[in-house]
Structure 1
Amino acid sequence: MHLRLNDEQKMVQKTIRKFVENELMPLEPEVLRNEREGRPGISPEKAQELQDKAKDFGFWGINTPEEYGGADLGQMMLAIVMMETSRTFVPFQFGGFADNILYYGNEAQKEQYLFPTIRGEKKSCFAITEPEAGSDTRRIQMSAVKDGHEWVLNGEKTFITNGHEADFVMVFAVTDKEKNGHGGVTCFLVDRDMGWESEYIHTMGEWGPASLIFNNVRVPEENILGELHGGYKLGLEWIGFNRWVVAARAIGAAERLLQDAIDYSKQRMTFGKPIADRQAIQWQIADSAVEIEATKGLVFNAAWTLDQGEDNRQLASMAKLFGANMGNRVIDRVLQIHGGMGYTKELPIERWYREARLWRIYDGTDEIQRMIIARNLLKGHVKIGDFI
């Protein structure tokens, strides 16, 4: 067993942390100001400039296969990258990336959708959630009816990340009502100019999802991604891939904020002593540090297992459940340690607080993760002690 990062991983971690500290963190005051005035945190032009700088550092297509121009560094490296970039709330991601299920496209689809997405020329979004079908994806109602060489799509998707900015959508619709659920759903690649519309959804945080409206949107048959009636499997693969990444993000934010709390506790005086000397503060710091390290173990195990080509779904659900809740607990403690100042908008803690609450909901709620974990154990799909 190797319980420490190797030299290459440490080098990547150090380089990305330097990039985050030098290029992203200085933008935080501007991002906060823009968000409070109802504007995007950073402009598309600034986002592209940052991606170009990162590319100069060698960070482009971190997990994209080499045959598509990427570095293909693997899931462990992706975990490290997500932890480091999540030490700031400046909206940024390294370029050269495309959704994992886009690689299932045929050659024509790759030319039209995959390659432009990797190059940053197109933006995609993933749409499976509906007003009456959230965690229970088998209840989706959006219909796709065959008409000649086209499919006619009708229905609504909701809470779609990047839905208001995307150039095309990977959307899931019922193509066989008799098999609705596992066997009657198909994934379609649908350009915005084919007729679907988006409506921005305002949330308590800075996540800006959208509702997507499909009203007799006609989609060519060649735009089916994967196989006809094979969409449900694709959808689960997309969702499952992202779950443990939520926990990696929580680690980065929690580490940054816990250090802020430690620094503040040494400066804040009460009754002649810094609050760092108070047991109540020390225990909050200690509990937070322990939970962060525990989450790292879950995340790295999930990532490493995937790198070995093994099924990591149980570990991914465990990491997502524990990590999302860890992040919420740590940020709550950090706010408590800062007292009234933590609650003000002068500090970014309240901004993190609002963002963190989403971690326990998207990509599968706490309740869904518990259901998956328990079901796998009760049905014998996994056994206690399988992963160590």
Structure 2
Amino acid sequence: MDLSLTDEQKDIRDTARAFIAREVMPLEPEVLQRERRGEKGITPQELSDLQAQARRFGFWGIGTPTEHGGANLSPVTQSLVWTEVGRTFVPFVFGGDADNILFRATPEQQQEYLTPTIEGERISCFAITEPEAGSDATAIRMRAVRDGDDWVLNGEKTFITKGVEADFSIVIAVTDPEQGFRGGFTAFLVDRAMGWTADPIHTMGPSTPASMGFVDVRVPHRNVLGEVGEGFRLAMEWIGRGRYVIPSQAIGATERLLGMAVQYANERRTFGKAIGEHQMIQTMIADCELDLEQARWLVLVAAWTVEQGRDARHESALAKLGGATAAGRVVDRVMQIHGGMGYTRELPIERWYREARLWRIFEGTDEIQRRAIARDLLAGRRRIGGHLA
């Protein structure tokens, strides 16, 4: 059993780490100040400039197929890169990517939506969540009714990431209620110019999702993504990718936070010695390392399972749950180790504290992951210790 990374994976990881440390982390003080003034942490132009600079290093479309100009890195290698991105709270992502289900678009749709998104000329969002349909995606109610060569959409979406900025959305709507979610949901490519509206939802963290309204929004039939009736399958494919990307980023944040705790424990002195010499501080640091390494291997197993072309839903649920909850425990301990200073805005710990709390909610709550894991075992779809069976 060889658990080591290849030389190529190490080189890619180290190059990504160097880029983040040299070009992105220096922006952190300004990002914090902007966010605390209610502004965006990074401007579109700054993001574009950073992505263009990264492109010169070969970091462009890390998950995009080579025929579309991307690097097409393996899922495991992508996970390593996302971990490096997670080491900073600057809202940076490498450019050249697009929603994974956009690659199922027709040639005409790819020209209008996919290629401009890859090049950063268009911004997309994915709209499935509704006020009465969050964790239970099968409960969505937005209707799309055929009217000649158009579909007419009516309903509301909520907590949509990038809904404020996007100029088009991938919208999941009910096209045949009698078929239920397995054959009655359809995905549409809907331009903002077609008439939907978006209002920001202010949260305790740095993200600002949107509430989106659709009132008699007419969408040409040519804008159906995939086939009529396969919207739910596409939605689950879209969501599935996030369940190892999100915890990959959480690992990066956890590594950075634990490093801060170790440094502070060696420098801060109480009762005549470094606080790291106190057993209770040592216990917290050891527990942080345990959480970090457990999460790391859950995530890598999930990415490896995807890479092998296997059904990775079970492993991805474990990774999402393990990574998100581990990060939450670590940031809480790191704040405790820093004491009052950790609670202030002079350090970024409180900022990570707020962001980490979101990781346990979006792209599938902790409870939904536990439900999926338990049901797989109870129904016999997964064997206990299945990877080694």
- Helix, strand or coil for the counterpart of 1:354? helix
Q: Which residue of 2 aligns with 1:269?
A: 269
For residues 307-334 of structure 1, the C-alpha deviation after alignment (integer angstroms, 9 at most, x for no partner) is 1111111000001111100000000000
Q: Which residue of 1 aligns with 2:63?
A: 63
Moved more, 238-247 or 361-370: 238-247
Q: Which residue of 1 aligns with 2:98?
A: 98
Give 1:294's aligned amino acid: Q
- Helix, strand or coil for the counterpart of 1:376? helix
Q: Which residue of 1 aligns with 2:338?
A: 338
**Alignment partners' CA distance in 1, 2:327 and 2:236:** 25
**Alignment partners' CA distance in 2, 1:31 and 1:372:** 37
**Alignment partners' CA distance in 2, 1:132 and 1:367:** 17
**Alignment partners' CA distance in 2, 1:245 and 1:325:** 15
TM, length-normalised to structure 1: 0.99
Q: Does 1:326 align with 2:326?
A: yes
Q: Which residue of 1 aligns with 2:126?
A: 126
Q: Which residue of 2 aligns with 1:218?
A: 218
Q: Which residue of 2 aligns with 1:242?
A: 242
Give 2:244's aligned amino acid: W
Alignment of 1:1-150 (within 5 A): 1-150=1-150
**Alignment partners' CA distance in 2, 1:17 and 1:240:** 26
TM, length-normalised to structure 2: 0.99
Post-superposition offset of 1:65: 0.5
For residues 240-270 of structure 1, the C-alpha deviation after alignment (integer angstroms, 9 at most, x for no partner) is 1111212111110000010001000111111
Q: Which residue of 1 aligns with 2:166?
A: 166
**Alignment partners' CA distance in 2, 1:81 and 1:2:** 21
Structure 1 segments (4+ residues) deviating >3 Å: none
CA RMSD between the two structures: 0.7
Give 1:183's aligned amino acid: G
Give 2:132's aligned amino acid: E
Q: Which residue of 2 aligns with 1:258?
A: 258
Q: Which residue of 2 aligns with 1:360?
A: 360
Post-superposition offset of 1:180: 2.9
**Alignment partners' CA distance in 2, 1:12 and 1:240:** 24
Give 1:317's aligned amino acid: A
- Helix, strand or coil for the counterpart of 1:181? helix
- Helix, strand or coil for the counterpart of 1:50? helix
Post-superposition offset of 1:46: 0.4
- Helix, strand or coil for the counterpart of 1:183? helix
**Alignment partners' CA distance in 2, 1:246 and 1:351:** 17
Post-superposition offset of 1:179: 1.7
**Identical residues among aligned pairs (%):** 58
**Alignment partners' CA distance in 2, 1:74 and 1:97:** 14
For residues 197-243 of structure 1, the C-alpha deviation after alignment (integer angstroms, 9 at most, x for no partner) is 10000000001100111010000001000111110100011111111
Q: Which residue of 1 aligns with 2:301?
A: 301
Give 2:17's aligned amino acid: R
Corresponding pairs, count = 388
**Alignment partners' CA distance in 1, 2:177 and 2:316:** 31
- Helix, strand or coil for the counterpart of 1:217? strand
- Helix, strand or coil for the counterpart of 1:250? helix
**Alignment partners' CA distance in 1, 2:290 and 2:135:** 31
**Alignment partners' CA distance in 1, 2:229 and 2:297:** 38
**Alignment partners' CA distance in 2, 1:64 and 1:138:** 29
**Alignment partners' CA distance in 2, 1:238 and 1:124:** 13
Give 1:331's aligned amino acid: V
Moved more, 178-187 or 145-154: 178-187
**Alignment partners' CA distance in 2, 1:95 and 1:363:** 21
For residues 271-292 of structure 1, the C-alpha deviation after alignment (integer angstroms, 9 at most, x for no partner) is 1011010000001111111111
For residues 46-75 of structure 1, the C-alpha deviation after alignment (integer angstroms, 9 at most, x for no partner) is 000000110011110111111111111110
**Alignment partners' CA distance in 1, 2:147 and 2:355:** 43
**Alignment partners' CA distance in 2, 1:262 and 1:241:** 33
**Alignment partners' CA distance in 1, 2:2 and 2:56:** 31
Q: Which residue of 2 aligns with 1:378?
A: 378
Q: Which residue of 1 aligns with 2:230?
A: 230
